[in-house]
């Protein structure tokens, strides 16, 4: 049964242009633009690191953010608002299977998105290998958990697809520019830095960049923030999420 549900979700994902575009193509496009402009030579903007070496791990943050904050909650709200989850209640399937399948399918898209990014980085822009590959994988997983957790909160708050789309866009698009993923934080005035510090994805980007390029600065705070985001969003979603 679970296999059928995953197969069903996979086909729906393959027809989901926005999710595929923002998960697979958009990060590579951004990399192509900034990599094309700056290359991977050591840059003052990035503390002497190459733009591509700093950008790829940051865009990994974008990949998990778009899956967790947009594709995943929109999928859940689609099901709930159309009454499909209610219909499922009258079948032997548990609606939880669909939630699990959505997480799996979006996770697969994220893994493919990261693979594409790294592949293009290596082939086109001389991306260097990560300094701490295992830590990078772990942080990517933690960041994904935080984003999917926030996505679950969005799915709990939004009663219609339109609301979910608006909330997801409001949460996601500022994160592209304000988390250090595309624009170096060093360039930002204090006010914008303050906003950036309030966004969980900023910490994901910071920790992912640390794991990729290595570095002296501590990421303890970032890890606590991401772990806290997972815990708090899980608690809120458990409290607010409704199947119907």
Partner 1 sequence: MIQAAQVTVRYGQLVAVDHVDLSVAQGEVVGVVGPNGAGKTTLLECIEGLRRPDSGQITVDGLHPQSDRAAMALRAGVQLQHTAFPPRTTVEDICKLFAGFYPKGAGYAELLERFGLSEHRRQLVVKLSGGQQQRLSLALALLGEPKVVFLDELTTGLDPAARRVIWEELRQRNEAGLTILLTSHHMDEIEFLCDHVAVLVKGQIMARGTPAQLVASHSRESLEISGDHGSVRPALEAISGVQLTTTGKRLLVQLDDPALRAKVDEILARHESAAVRPLNPSLEDAYLNLTGEQAHVL
Residue 160: DSSP 8-state: S
Q: Which residues contact 107 (CB under 8 A, 6 or more apart)?
A: 67, 144
Beta bridge partners of 49: 43
Q: Is 141 in the site for partner 1 (CB under 8 A)?
A: no
Residue closer to partner 1 (CB basis): 16 or 43: 16
16 binds partner 1 (CB under 8 A): yes
In whole angstroms, the minimum distance from the beta carbon of 20 to partner 1 comes to 11
Query: Is there a contact between 136 and 219 (Cβ–Cβ < 8 Å)?
Result: no
Contacting range for partner 1; rule: CB under 8 A; set: 91-99, 143-151, 169-177, 186-194: 91-99
Q: Give the shortest CB-92-to-partner 1 separation in angstroms.
A: 4
Whole-angstrom Cα distance, residue 224 to residue 205? 14
Decide: 97 and 2 in contact? Cβ < 8 Å: yes
From the number of C-beta atoms within 10 Å of its C-beta (0-12, 13-18, 19+), residue 190 rates as exposed
- Give dist(CA 67, CA 105) in Å, integer: 9
In the complex with partner 1, which residue's Cβ is closer, 12 or 193? 12
Q: How far is the CB of 3 from partner 1 (least distance, A)?
A: 7
Stretch that binds partner 1, among 49-57, 89-97, 123-131, 141-149 (CB under 8 A): 89-97
Q: With binding defined as CB under 8 A, does residue 21 bind partner 1?
A: no
Quick note: the x/- pattern for partner 1 over 26-65, rule CB under 8 A, is: ----------------------------------------
Full DSSP string of 175-241: HHHHSSSSS-GGGS-HHHHHHHHH-HHHHHHHHHHHHHH--SS--HHHHHHHHHHHHHHHHHHHHH-
Binder among 32, 93, 157, 236 for partner 1 (CB under 8 A): 93
The site for partner 1 (CB under 8 A) is made up of 1, 3-5, 7-8, 11-12, 15-16, 78-79, 82-84, 86-87, 89-93
């Amino acid at each position: 049964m679970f296999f059928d549900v995953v197969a069903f979700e996979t086909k729906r994902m393959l027809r989901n242009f926005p999710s595929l575009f923002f998960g697979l193509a958009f990060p590579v496009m951004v990399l192509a633009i900034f990599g094309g402009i700056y290359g991977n030579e050591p840059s003052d903007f990035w503390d002497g690191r190459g733009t591509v070496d700093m950008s790829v791990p940051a865009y990994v943050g974008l990949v998990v953010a778009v899956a967790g904050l947009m594709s995943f909650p929109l999928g859940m709200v689609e099901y709930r608002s159309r009454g499909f989850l209610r219909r499922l209640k009258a079948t032997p399937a548990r609606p939880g299977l669909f939630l699990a399948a959505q997480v799996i399918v979006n996770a697969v898209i994220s893994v493919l998105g990261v693979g594409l990014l790294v592949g293009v980085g290596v082939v086109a822009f001389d991306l260097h290998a990560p300094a701490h590959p295992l830590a990078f994988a772990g942080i990517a997983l933690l960041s994904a958990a935080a984003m999917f957790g926030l996505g679950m909160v969005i799915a709990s708050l939004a009663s219609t697809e339109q609301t979910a789309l608006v909330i997801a866009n409001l949460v996601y698009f500022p994160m592209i520019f304000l988390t250090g993923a595309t624009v170096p934080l060093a360039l930002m005035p204090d006010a914008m830095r303050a906003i950036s510090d309030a966004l969980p994805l900023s910490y994901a980007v910071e920790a992912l960049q640390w794991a990729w390029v290595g570095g002296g600065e501590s990421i303890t705070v970032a890890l606590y923030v991401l772990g806290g985001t997972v815990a708090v969003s899980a608690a809120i979603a458990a409290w607010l999420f409704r199947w119907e």
